[in-house]
Structure 1
């Protein structure tokens, strides 16, 4: 039996984590609309979003590109306001 070579790509995406009041985390990938997950702790959230991204790309292989090629440019800026 002959083994075939598979081209394995290593893709990188930015994931946004938000800590929930119960201590868990919500997480989503802005470059992949609708790709989101959660976890009871940070490590679980990381594992779950990696799985979610894998499933997302499996279902939509045409979107399997480095984020640099398709990036939604987002950034966080702290702001201060006066509030009474």
Structure 2
């Protein structure tokens, strides 16, 4: 990819929704992420299409942030 070319990001869940709707419209019954959280599989699909996944809307990111903030609060504001 040319250095001057900008990178596009996309929410993986949007792609999942579009793909699932298309498959359902043609009579298929897709399952996605049967082995765990489907977000990484959706992100892999985007990467295969040359799109950088955006973790906006990924609940795992929010949980990680909340966990980190709780650790910081516990360290900085220990209970007496």
Which bracket does the TM-score occupy, shorter chain normalised? Answer: under 0.3
Higher share in helix: 2
Could you tell me the TM-score, scaled by structure 2's length? 0.28
Task: State which structure, 1 or 2, has the greater radius of gyration over its C-alpha atoms.
Answer: 2
Higher share in strand: 1
Q: Which has the higher contact order (CA 8 A, sep 6+)?
A: 2
